[in-house]
Amino acid sequence: MAQTIAIEKNITTLNQLQGRFNLRRSDNDQFFTEWFNGLSQLTDLEKQALDGIKQQYFYQRSDGPLAEGAVKMVVLAKLLDLAGFYDPPFRFRTETGVEIAIEDRDEILRGRIDALVIQEQFWVLVIESKRTTFSTDVALPQALAYMMANPNPERPIFGLVTNGSHFIFIKLVQSREPQYDLSDEFSLYQRHNQLYNILQILKRLGQVMTEV
């Protein structure tokens, strides 16, 4: 009988992930160009909205760490709205259950994706969020494990991990040998409002997936 394993509790390092899925990070500079190529300019209204999100985040954060739910409400939900992921052709899901069978280890990995953006039947973006006291490094193995459950492995899939103040994008390709790569890390603690960069990338990923 296969052993059932909770992803959140048992997939906590990239080495554990690589051991189960033979997953490796790509060393090809052209593997994940979507986070810096072809980005559109933002409007003044979009910039104003992003400045407001940053201001609200630090106002709420000044009273202590934000729980995961607060991170989603104060930052993440607003970003996804500005990126158009609540509008056609996208669908938005939360707490989506996933199950991955690993036959050679007689294991079943189970977990729940914090947020999932779908275009028709195709997964577009897997989002893993943490409370503000967690590093984004903690979320990376879990996000990649959830991305491996993509029901359409012939297509690339993108991910985003955040703790409200720091953001990293992920690209995963599962054909033949599974590979992934990461964007630079973006931080709200930078003087320049890096939510501008984050929204540009989100909009670009949405465009890429509707063109595939």
Residue 174: C-alpha distances to residues 60, 122, 143 (Å): 39, 14, 14
Position 33 scores a pLDDT of 98
Q: Cα separation of 212 and 206, whole Å?
A: 10
Give the alpha-carbon dihedral of 41, 92, 64, 195, to 10 degrees. -10
Position 212 scores a pLDDT of 67
Count Cα atoms within 13 angstroms, Cβ side, for 17.
25
Domain of residue 60, residue span: 3-211
Position 60 scores a pLDDT of 94
pLDDT in tens, the chain (212 residues): 567 878 877 777 888 888 888 899 999 999 999 999 999 999 999 999 999 999 999 999 998 888 888 888 999 999 999 999 999 999 989 888 887 777 666 678 888 888 899 987 788 889 888 877 677 888 898 899 999 989 888 899 999 999 889 999 999 999 778 999 999 999 999 999 999 999 999 999 999 988 86
141: domain CATH number is 3.90.1570.30
Count of the separate structural domains present in the chain: 1
Position 77 scores a pLDDT of 93
Q: Cα separation of 114 and 129, whole Å?
A: 7
Position 129 scores a pLDDT of 84
End-to-end CA distance of the chain: 39
Nearest to 100 by CA among 209, 182, 31, 174: 174
